[in-house]
A and B are shown apart, each in its own frame.
Chain A
Amino acid sequence: MDNACISPGERNQKFLKKLKARNVDVHACYQCGRCSSGCPIGDFFDLNVMEVVRLAAYGQEERLLNSHTIWLCAACETCGTRCPNDIEIPVLMDVLRELALRKGVKPAEPRIPAFHGSFLGSISRWGRAWEIGMIANYKVKSGDLMGDMKLGMDMFLKGKLKLLPHSIEGKAEIREIFSGKGKEYDR
């Protein structure tokens, strides 16, 4: 993180309001560093977890949305569990990823949101995840055509990937969920 000053006037108030609505009290952080020290992916982050919390408290949405960290976070919940002030850091990460996608911010780790998109695409279509369809879709979206070919074949030969999707009866309900139910109220 660079050392440039951040003035209170640069705070994105809408972003801070959003965090409040999701019960993420970033202002409770006293920078003990337990979140960063226990993070299993921390070695790969550009912003460590505590920096994310601090930048969030400063309302620095843009820097956060452009970071690698928000995509590399694996949602293991170690940080939030160990935070002495019960700051919901995993929810903060969820909010940041969702904002980045809604705003169309070019992701620093494009393969990761591509994976999420392929997985959710499979569910929105069938109601349950169908791995082969999801993997094929991800390969095309991410451009990672050759990665894990051998593993995929091994798993297929061991009967771990089913050939056809299971389509649930309540697909109309699933479609309704994916068409933005609840978001009519701008949340």
Chain B
Amino acid sequence: MKLSYYPGCSLEGTALDYDQSVREICEKLDIDLVDIPDWNCCGASSAHMTDHEVGMRLPMRNLLLAYEAGHDILVPCAACFQRLKAADKTLRENPGFWDIGVYDPAFDILHISSFLADSDTGAKISSKVSKALDGLKIACYYGCLSLRNPRITDAPNWEMPDNLERIVTAVGASPVAWSHRTECCSGSLTMARPDIAEKLVEDITVAAKRAGADALVTDCPMCQANVESRQQLGTEEKGLPVFFATELIAAAMSGTYPVKQQKSHLVSAAVLTDVMAETAMRKEGAV
């Protein structure tokens, strides 16, 4: 299976490890990722927030590049996904307004977790798990932009999504029921108003801890960076690491959680290391 791949800027920088895990698991699932040649930043969210033309034309260039290749487009970043979807819908409605003659591509734009959680791919992931993440209690955190507005994203269950829960279950971990799955973490304000980000992140992590979660899992690089970096922890307090869904899949499939990957977290990722070690010990005991 061949897919066009739009990594987006975060996956070249703050979320470089997200990119690596996406590529790793796609290879194992026999999915051939073809990077959109010479892709540019989609502008999320500053462009559309302050300049309609720029906010439309930046993602548009990527869509036209992918149009030539014709494959469905896989997007790991929730913000990029939402911008590409918005531009795609606007262009289909009125290509002439945007100086395009014909725009009628057959491709779908896929956000990574809806793609990985579909029943076939989910079953394939389960069958390739070499170390199930038994006992890891996970709060699945979606944030905003893979879901809202459903008029843009086509997300079927925007208030009660379950893609991440399905993925987490496929690798043997246990999703917890909790309150803040689709709340905003204010990633777009985190640099200019860290005080607001700290408050929203606190609400989210307190809710996850209340539900008994050991960690959060997300599919948005902005949420991952923001929720890990804005936790205000006392000396005795344990933070909640935020894993990428693909990071968990890669660990469960390969049976290893490399030190380099552990160290990419700003909050200790020991909980996953421990679960991996326990699973290994149980396996040895059984033999």
Taking Cβ atoms with an 8 Å cutoff, the residues of A that contact B are 22, 40-41, 43-44, 72, 74-78, 80-81, 86, 90, 93-95, 97-98, 101, 109, 111-116, 119-120, 123, 127-131, 135, 138, 142, 147-148, 151, 154-155, 158-162, 166, 168-170, 173-174, 177-178, 180-183, 187
State how many residues of chain B have any CB contact under 8 Å with chain A. Answer: 56
Supposing A77-B149, A168-B40, A177-B58 touch, asked if A94 and B48 sit within 8 A by C-beta, the answer is yes
Give the docked Cα–Cα distance between A127 and B38 (Å): 9
Chain B residues close to A by CB (< 8 Å):
9-10, 12-16, 38-41, 43, 45-58, 61, 98-99, 144-145, 147-152, 158, 183-184, 186-189, 191-194, 196, 199-200, 225, 229, 263-264, 266
Q: Is the CB of A112 within 8 A of B193?
A: yes
A-B contact count (CB 8 A): 159
> A138's closest neighbor in chain B, by CB?
B191
**Complex alpha-carbon distance, A182 and B51, angstroms:** 11
Q: Nearest 10 A-B pairs (CB), nearest first?
A: A77-B148, A76-B184, A129-B9, A116-B46, A111-B192, A40-B184, A182-B53, A76-B144, A119-B46, A177-B57
If A40-B184, A76-B184, A147-B194 touch, whether A123 touches B43 (CB-CB below 8 Å) is: yes
The distance in angstroms between the C-alpha atoms of A168 and B54, with both chains bound, is: 17
Check if A80 sits within 8 Å of B149, measured CB to CB.
yes
Give B139 Cβ to nearest chain A Cβ, in Å.
Answer: 17
Q: Tell me the bound Cα distance from A166 to B16 in angstroms.
A: 14
Distance between Cα atoms of A139 and B144 in the complex (Å): 27
Rounded to whole angstroms, the CA-CA distance of A166 and B43 in the bound complex is 15
What are 21 A-B contacts with C-beta separation under 8 Å?
A41-B186, A74-B189, A75-B49, A76-B148, A98-B51, A101-B51, A116-B46, A116-B49, A120-B47, A128-B12, A128-B40, A155-B229, A158-B264, A160-B14, A160-B225, A160-B264, A173-B40, A182-B57, A182-B98, A183-B53, A187-B52
